[in-house]
Structure 1
Amino acid sequence: MTTILLRRTFLSAMTVLCAGAFLAGLSSPVAAAECKNRGDLDIRYCDENGDLVADTPTDPAEWLDPSTLVFSYTPVEDPSVYENVFTEFMDYLAKKTGKRVSWYGAESYAAQVEAMRSGRLHVAGISTGPTVYGVNLAGYVPFTIMGEKGNVFGYKLQLITKADSDIKTVADMKGRKIAHVTPTSNSGNQAPRAFFKEMGVTPDVDYEVIYSGKHDNSVMGVVNGDYDAAPIASSVMDRMIMKGMLKREDIRVIWESQYFPTTSYGYVYNLKPDLAAKIVDAFLSFDWAGTALANEFKPRDRFIPITFKEHWAPIRLIQKDNGVVYSQEALEALKK
């Protein structure tokens, strides 16, 4: 089935986020009392099986079976570029599910989470840090990640500066202007706050934090001298170098972390079970060979199964260390 992409019209409609719609439909006290285990999940969700993600509703009347599946990719770079990158996959997703598939070019992490929580976004790729917010605030169920030859692909948090900068160590950032990405970005904010503090440098205290909004903004801001340094995701910078947006010799890596998982892919918890199963099958059976997806994300060449409980454990620990509470206030922080 050919995918019907309601591009500009749909994007305009999705850009208008209604706070009332977002907050509507909270679980009643009766429903909340019936849930024996919830963990960090919002009150409208339940986790009886202990896998840390929202359970599929037991009442078929609560299942979602849309005629058009809405798909979104994390707002890291130009959304219009990634619409083209994912077109072949969206066509395949339409074929496997028997549904039309429409693209939503989210402008922020908050937009993705709010759209999924309100039932307007059904399938998504959500960045590392915001994945935890999506799980707990929007009923997001991540189940796969991009990999290479059967191995889970990761990225490192890298602290970068301009090649000729006098910043040589983490301590040298004191008194400088440092670009962080967004408050909920793992490599662009959450992990640096946890790691740098352990190394004797506290963001917002020892240096000025300036939120750039996106990893590529941080990278180019360092190259152009707008920021003295920036913590970024190595995978984003690697893609930018491959595209010729900068040369590796333009920057210097001061410090880097262990590997973290990259963008997760998943669906909203209340999809009709057989539809959710078809979506999982579409991701795991998609042939990357010769596709724009393979070209954009090489050397990754397939989607590989993951679990939120196992693979996002270090990310949850970082957010816990930073005192993150998954609430309406936390969602508002996604917009800053």
Structure 2
Amino acid sequence: MKPAPLTTALVLASLALPAFSQTASGRNAAPAAAAPRAELVVAMPRTYGKTETMGLWGGYFSHLSSCANVSLRNQRGESLDVSTNVDTLAEKELVDSIKTGKAQLAQVNPGLAAQLVVAGHPAPFAVPGDKATGKPNSYHLILISRVDSPYRQPKDLAGKKIAHTTPTSNSGNLAPRALFPALGLTPEKDYEVVFSNGHERSVMGVMHGFYDGAAVASDLYQRMVLKGEVRASSVRTLWQSPPFMTESWVMGKDVPADVQARVRKCSYSYSFSPVLRKMLPGNDVFLPVNFDRDFATVMEVYRKSQAPAKP
């Protein structure tokens, strides 16, 4: 089940190829004129379709192209200045593309960021946030059921089917395995784990009665509500976790240091487009990442997920 497309109005408002967001807000840093132009292959998660992904992030790519003096391309060598054919990859393919050097710039979920850092790749350098407060975007792991179900608290789901998303997802699998046992819900012992292959599929699976409950990221669930794919009044939240860092941006370890510096500087000067602000409420810029602080909870969950299971 693929996510429903953005409304026609949002897509048309956000797409203006080949110069996605050549506005004052997208040009508030001078191009790195003296530096040689570098090529970076971009990889994005398969959260939305290619056109929708470029509708959200095309302005950022255009800003990097001019400000950081980089040529952004897909793995077939097509320039993202003139094409919406961005690579949207499944989680394993996405992280492998960074590890193998097939992609040099990517947006990844927290679980994949942890994998990359442990494997010796650079920590995430940017995360959406609020310029005025300096607060980075975050989300909660939530455990949901249908509002008309008999389930009122987590332990009510004992013996039932709970959807996880994918094995590598932080909020969709690693965090439930680390945090649910304290709620009386040890995966595969107290309930049946069913992998849905995506947060949106987990939510819709609950709504259509395929799963009794689901472990999903609150921000992705809220985007479904904003897009009209699900009514908030139809869903009951049984529990939510402390906050986790949301999707962040990473670069490959083989990207030259001067190019990394240019990309970071220009990322922090980018002002989000109206359509991106609508999809990420309360976020208008990229903020730097303090990995040890911002990803402490993510790394705790990741390490617990890698620990040998107790007999």
Q: Is the 8 A contact 1:113 1:138 kept in 2?
A: no
Instruction: Tell me the CA shift for residue 3 of structure 1.
Output: 6.6
Q: 1:206 matched to which residue of 2? A: 190
1:79-104 residue CA offsets vs partner (Å, 9 max, x unmatched): 44212211111111111222221254
* Number of aligned residue pairs: 264
Counterpart check, 1:76 vs 2:59: no
SS in 2 for 1:86: helix
Question: Are 2:126 and 2:288, in contact at CA under 8 Å, matched by a contact in 1?
Answer: yes
Query: Which residue is equivalent to 1:57?
Result: none
Q: Aligned equivalents of 1:131 and 1:223: distance in 2?
A: 30
Structure 1 CA distance, aligned partners of 2:122 and 2:158? 38
The structural deviation recorded for 1:225 is 1.3
Indicate the residue corresponding to 1:197 in structure 2: 181
**Does the aligned pair in 2 maintain the 1:141–1:269 contact within 8 Å?**
no
CA spacing shift, 1:4–1:132, aligned 2, 3 Å? farther
Query: How many angstroms apart in 1 are the aligned matches of 2:44 and 2:120?
Result: 16
The structural deviation recorded for 1:264 is 1.3
User: Structure 1 stretch 203-212 or stretch 75-84: which is displaced more?
Assistant: 75-84
AA at the equivalent of 2:215 = P
1:317 paired residue among 274, 287, 300: 300
- 1:237 is matched with 221
Which position in structure 1 is the counterpart of 2:107?
125
Say whether residues 1:182 and 2:153 are aligned partners: no
CA contact (8 A) 2:171 2:216 kept: yes
Matched position secondary structure for 1:245: coil
Structure 2 unaligned segments of length 5 or more: list them: 1-16, 21-35, 75-85
TM-superposition CA deviations, 1:125-174 (whole Å, max 9, x none): 11011111122337243111111232112111110001101111211112
Shift of 1:67: 4.4
Alignment map for 1:1-336 (pairs within 5 Å)? 67-103=38-74, 104-137=86-119, 139-148=121-130, 149=132, 150-288=134-272, 290-323=273-306
Distance 1:120 1:309 in 2: 27
**So what's the TM-score if we normalise by structure 2?**
0.79
Contact 1:83/1:105 (8 A) holds in 2: no
In the alignment, the residues of structure 2 paired with residue 281 and residue 213 of structure 1 have an alpha-carbon distance, to the nearest angstrom, of: 35
C-alpha change, 1:273 and 1:247, in structure 2 (3 Å) is same
The answer to whether the Cα contact below 8 Å between 1:80 and 1:105 also exists between their aligned partners in 2 is: no
Separation (CA, whole Å) in 2 of partners of 1:112 and 1:138: 16
* Displacement after TM superposition at 1:199 (Å): 2.1
Secondary structure in 2 matching 1:269: coil
Q: Tell me how far 1:294 sits from its aligned partner.
A: 2.2
Alignment partner, residue 6 of structure 2: none
- CA deviations on 1:10-56 (whole Å, 9 max, x unpaired) are xxxxxxxxxxxxxxxxxxxxxxxxxxxxxxxxxxxxxxxxxxxxxxx
Q: Unaligned stretches of 5+ in structure 1?
A: 6-64, 326-336
Preserved CA contact (<8 Å) 1:76 1:215: no
- The letter for the 2-side match of 1:144 is A
Q: Aligned with 2:238: secondary structure?
A: strand
Q: Offset at 1:105? A: 2.8
- Distance in structure 2 (CA, Å) of the matches to 1:279 and 1:246: 37
The verdict on how the C-alpha distance between 1:223 and 1:317 changes in structure 2, with shifts beyond 3 A counting, is: same
- Letter paired with 2:259: L
Shift of 1:108: 1.3
| CA contact 2:43–2:89 (8 Å) conserved in 1 | no
SS of the residue corresponding to residue 159 of structure 1 reads strand
Please say if residues 3 and 102 of structure 1, whose CA atoms lie closer than 8 Å, have aligned partners that are also in contact: no
Indicate conservation of the 8 Å contact 1:3/1:100, yes or no. no
1:193 and 1:115 mapped to 2: Cα distance? 27
| Cα distance in 2 for residues equivalent to 1:140 and 1:210 | 33
Matched letter for residue 101 of structure 1: L
Q: What percentage of residue pairs aligned between the two structures are identical?
A: 29
The structural deviation recorded for 1:112 is 1.2
Secondary structure of the 1:203 match is: coil
Q: Distance in 1 between matches of 2:275 and 2:41?
A: 20
C-alpha RMSD of the superposition: 2.2
Q: Which SS does the other structure have where 1:106 is aligned?
A: strand
